[in-house]
Structure 1
Amino acid sequence: MSGQVRRRRFPWWLLLVAFIGIPIVEIYVLIQVGQVIGPWWTILLLIADSILGSWLLKREGARAWRALQVALAEGRMPARELADGILIVLGGTLMISPGFVTDIFGVLAILPLTRPLGRKVLAGFISKRLVVSGVPGMPRNAPGSAPRNAPGNAQRPGPSGDVVQGDVIESD
């Protein structure tokens, strides 16, 4: 496997869980709730839940947007603000979709009290899939950069490589 970078395989089982497993769990929970409180109250609760999700999405989304604008105006990297925006959109999508299980995860992603945990999970997810290499100005052995002996790096000159003095001559 010399000279090639090994790519991670996409976990296809995740799609199976997302499109088959979650709806089955949601239907089961809806039936159980409907048997306890009745079908009309269950439908009313789902509608109220979606309205609450829309309101939370609008409120927290506006807060995240303002925080993003402030970070950009201050000239700093808006990593936290972008992560909050991603979590709010994800949580809002889960809240608006019908079902009680997805609503629980949606509320956890939207609420400011529980969002730091979501940011940690999101950062861990992204850092496992992110490889930085060849960034100008970054030392070759900096955290996050590709190792010096990684495939494809052996021939590349870098800031720590040999420097050859010379003159540039332009021909007319």
Structure 2
Amino acid sequence: MRYISWALLILAAMEVISIILVSNLIGGGWTLLLIILSSACGVFMLRNIGLSGLFLAVATIRTGSNVSIYQLLWPLRYVLAAIMLISPGFVSDIFAALLLLPIKGKPLTSASSHPFSRAPQSDQNDIIEGEFTVENDNRQKHHSEGQQHLPPR
């Protein structure tokens, strides 16, 4: 816990240094404009995500799709990047840009082993349920209901 306060203090110092360096490089007015634009982008991102990001994460978990932990935490990354964009300075903007990169990680679980998975079991992949009618050349009709198995491949 005590390292978090040190990290925040170092981040604040780096933010001030980055503002000074960028203002010396491109000018104070342009620096102020960049800070205002990044803050506006952060506010826009926060207004768009709202609680729907959390609902998206829960829906992803419930469907049992094959996702990585990094992808699963997308709503949290998005909100954290928006907060970092709102803070003045350019170091946090760089971290926000890194959080928004679409990096894929290893899959979290396979779809068939997830408890909420709706994927068919491996032994039922050859079953087609439904009704059908077969007409032969001599106009005989055969009607079938129930399960039919596909021929093996």
Query: What TM-score comes out, normalization by structure 2 length?
Result: 0.54
> Relative contact order: is structure 1 or structure 2 higher (C-alpha 8 Å, sep ≥ 6)?
2
Residue pairs, 1:17-166, within 5 angstroms: 17-18=7-8, 20-59=9-48, 64-65=53-54, 67-68=56-57, 70-71=59-60, 74=63, 80=69, 82-111=72-101, 113-114=102-103, 116=104
SS across alignment from 1:91: helix
How far is 1:109 from its partner?
1.3
Aligned-residue offset at 1:110: 2.8
**Matched length:** 107
Structure 1 residue 104: Cα displacement: 0.9
Contact kept in structure 2, 1:57 and 1:89, CA below 8 Å = yes
Deviations 1:124-147 (A, max 9, x none): xxxxxxxxxxxxxxxxxxxxxxxx
Q: Structure 2: which 5+ runs fail to align?
A: 109-153
Compare CA radii of gyration and give the structure with the larger one: 2
- AA of the residue aligned to 1:41: W
Cα drift, residue 63 of structure 1: 7.2
Letter in 2 for 1:107: A
Higher strand share: 2
8 Å contact from structure 1 (residues 49, 95) kept in 2: yes
Following superposition, the deviation at residue 29 of structure 1 comes to 1.0
Shift of the 107–58 alpha-carbon distance from structure 1 to 2, 3 Å rule, reads farther
Residue ranges of structure 1 left out of the alignment (5+ in a row): 1-9, 124-172
Deviates more, 1:63-72 or 1:23-32: 63-72
Contact kept, 8 Å, 1:29 with 1:100, in 2: the verdict is yes
Deviation of 1:69 after TM superposition, in Å, equals 5.5
When the two chains are superposed, the root-mean-square deviation of aligned CA atoms in Å is 3.5
Per-residue Cα deviation, 1:87-109 (whole angstroms, up to 9, x for no partner): 11211111111111001111221
